[in-house]
Amino acid sequence: MIYVLDLNFLIDLCRIRGLFDLPRLAGELRMPDGAASNLNGNDARLLHQMPITLCELSGQQMGDVLRLLACHSGLGMADIQSLILARDLEATLLTGAHSLQILARNIGVPTEDVLWVVDQWVQEAVWSPAQALSALEKLLTSGKRVSRETQQVYVQAWGRINAKQI
């Protein structure tokens, strides 16, 4: 499995203190070099320590980026670059941007968010259910919008696993 990361996803991952566990997600991690260039200082140094392959987009891909950007002004260049890379690699786009998730699904690109990754870590015993619940709380207190339905699904799943461990 190949995953393409966007900046929104990395921001959410940092909010829940999950960045250093990212390499434990089963699969290859990729990111457009143009999106990565938006990071600076400590963030850029951290990114270069991670097993993330930075990918340069071709001229054709950049043309696709510009065409989509013209039609979707609410999204940034880095967002669209990640989307185009995921599309062309037939990868899953990891993003925390709701509008990008909608656009991706409309053009056939599968997406997941940070809570899905956390759930994978719980299933693989990388994180405990208590850590996962704490991550959800951190996202919510940071202002991240998570539907009540999504919250309930994860709380019930992680609560069930937590109860089995007690």
Model confidence at 35, pLDDT cuts 50, 70, 90, reads: confident
Considering the chain, what percentage of its residues have pLDDT values greater than 90?
A: 60
Average pLDDT over residues 25-42: 84
**Whether residue 92 is found in the same domain as residue 19:** yes
Q: How many domains does the chain have?
A: 2
Average pLDDT over residues 64-92: 95
CATH code of 59's domain: 3.40.50.1010
26: helix, strand or coil: coil
Q: Which pLDDT does position 164 carry in this prediction?
A: 54
**Whether residue 107 is found in the same domain as residue 94:** yes
**Whether residue 119 is found in the same domain as residue 151:** yes
**Whether residue 89 is found in the same domain as residue 121:** no
**Whether residue 130 is found in the same domain as residue 156:** yes
**Whether residue 30 is found in the same domain as residue 90:** yes
Instruction: Confirm if 88 and 61 have CB atoms less than 8 A apart.
Output: yes
Separation CA 118–CA 124 (nearest Å): 10
Q: 161: domain range?
A: 115-165
> What's the order of all strands across the beta sheet hosting 92-94?
52-55, 28-32, 2-5, 92-94, 111-112
Q: Is the pTM of this model over 0.75?
A: yes
- Residue 16 corresponds to which tokens in the numbers above? 């829940």
**Whether residue 83 is found in the same domain as residue 95:** yes
Considering the chain, what percentage of its residues have pLDDT values greater than 70?
A: 94
DSSP secondary structure string for all residues of 34-82: HHHTT--HHHHHHHHHSSEEEEPPPHHHHHHHHHHHHH-TTS-HHHHHH
| Residues constituting the chain | 166
**Whether residue 86 is found in the same domain as residue 33:** yes
